[in-house]
Amino acid sequence: MFCIKRIATVQAATAHNWNRNQFLQQVCKKAQLPEGAWQDPETEIYLFSSQVFAETP
């Protein structure tokens, strides 16, 4: 068993107009896993919330 930690944000999915499957495929790609790795029953996917802040000039 091995562990690869990568973060992908919903903002990336929104910016690229990805659907759920495309987003999960891209998460796998970012983690250097096969695109369908998210469908493996032993794959663990963790969700989290965040707040996006922007500075204004």
pLDDT beyond 90 at 10:
no
Neighbours of 30 (CB within 10 A): 13
Question: What distance lies between CA 37 and its chain's CA centroid?
Answer: 12
For tokens 């996006």, what's the residue?
Answer: 52
Neighbours of 33 (CB within 10 A): 17
Q: What is residue 39's predicted lDDT score, i.e. its pLDDT? A: 94
For the segment 11-51, what is each residue's pLDDT rounded down to a tens digit?
878 888 989 999 899 888 888 889 899 999 988 888 878 78
Rg, C-alpha atoms of the chain: 13
pLDDT beyond 80 at 9:
no
Q: What is residue 15's predicted lDDT score, i.e. its pLDDT? A: 86
For the question of whether the overall pTM of this predicted structure is more than 0.95, the answer is no
